[in-house]
Amino acid sequence: MYDLGKKQNPYGDDKLHDACGIFAVMSRSGRTFSGEIPIRAMENMHDRGNGLGGGYAAYGIYPGWPHLYAFHMMFEHKSAKAETEKYLHQFFSSMDGEEIPTRPHPGISSAPILYRYFLGPNHHLLNGLSEDDFVVQRVMHINQKIDGAFVFSSGKNMGVFKAVGHTEDVGRFYRLEDYEAYCWTAHSRFPTNTQAWWGGAHPFSTLDWTVVHNGEISSYGSNRNFLEMHGYYCTMHTDTEVITYAVDLLARRHGLPIDMVCKVMAPPLWRDIDRMPKAEKDLYTTLRVIYGPLLMNGPFSIVLAHQGEMIALGDRIRLRPLVAAEKDDAVYIASEEAPIRLVEPKLDRVWIPKGGEPVIVRLDDAAMAIAHPEGRSAVK
């Protein structure tokens, strides 16, 4: 269904063997950074990608619309845009739309129509659903049912920007130096087992949850089956999608604290659980029994983000690189130390997170109140 700027493999390989690059930064105090910072960091890791996908997620960029859902949309043609707008008018009581600002760039081609809408749900149509569940249903409908339309971001006061191309070129194309955010995540992608297309680049998003991922999820089949039983439909043709939906299910819908979410996806080994004190052993046994199909097998380093929180997590035996660093109120995550030192040479601390042990960064209370005045908690 989705062509949306697909790009054929220029190397003629059945499978491309290359690296992925991850960079993220967040200020605990809510201090904002220009998009120039993640662009420079990703440019430093240029050789980790191959130009078949790159993107960014930014939090705090829409302070003028803090209560509205920001839908970032890709359209193959004008009729898809018209059909989508007709659908949105049926379900949302307020709706402002505009083109997403871009500039011509030699490294970016075959761009779809890029538009963003700021939407408030029609409360008369919720029928007992939360606003978030209502929005997820609308996104799933558009991505499944409207040919040539794709929602690639749908959170409040945040947005995803992605394309087929090198990540630094994607940033220049979207003019990200014009944005200020308290949290940025970025990714250079090559498709491990899937065709390159605009919607298939990272970050992946549902509501304000975003995921960037280096690695390969070999448990994709069982993960996908479990998620589809809970109403999530995997239409983006990549294994990273299941991470995004798993986090939304576990954290938002089931209310698990984020450290427990991480222990579902990268749990302790059974031999380690058997050696735990009884209460801890019972907890981890329960998590593995109930959520066993959401265990993420395979090599991975991921950065999750949502309003007020950023989480980095590697697989249990560290098959993919991940480096963390701090400077004053800012925490940096990257695939390598070099891009961090490029944008912040004088670091207070640098460390390599242990496999399966998350690095969790949160806005302080005062910053949270400013960034998200509606008062929705970032931490379950």
Q: What are phi and psi of 315, to 5 degrees?
A: -65, 165
**Which of 97, 87, 102, 77 is closest to 3 using CA atoms?**
77
CA distance 213 to 222: 19
Among the options 20, 183, 234, 262, which is catalytic? 20
Amino acid identity of residue 358, one-letter, is P
Cα 326 to chain center, whole Å? 22
Say how many CA atoms lie within 13 Å of 281 toward its Cβ. 9
The sign of the CA dihedral 65, 66, 68, 72 is positive
Q: Note whether 168 and 39 are within 8 A (CB).
A: yes
Which amino acid makes up residue 316?
A: R
Q: Which residue type occupies 205?
A: S
User: Locate tokens 């709706």: which residue?
Assistant: 95
Please state, in angstroms and rounded to a whole number, the distance separating the CA atoms of residues 271 and 333. Answer: 30
What is the rounded CA–CA span in Å between residue 363 and residue 142? 33
| CA atoms of 326 and 346, how far apart (whole Å) | 10
- How many angstroms separate the CA atoms of 228 and 167, rounded? 31
Q: Which tokens belong to 288?
A: 């593995």
Q: How far apart are CA 317 and CA 272, in angstroms?
A: 13
* 8 A C-beta contact, residue 311 and residue 262: yes
Report the C-alpha gap between 346 and 330 in whole angstroms.
12
Residues 6 or more apart in contact with residue 76 via CB below 8 angstroms: 2, 3, 4, 112, 113, 147, 148, 149
* Whether 20 is catalytic: yes
- The whole-angstrom separation of Cα 212 and Cα 185 is 7
Phi-psi region for residue 230, left (φ > 0), alpha (ψ -120 to 50) or beta?
alpha
Report, as residue numbers or ranges, the catalytic residues.
20
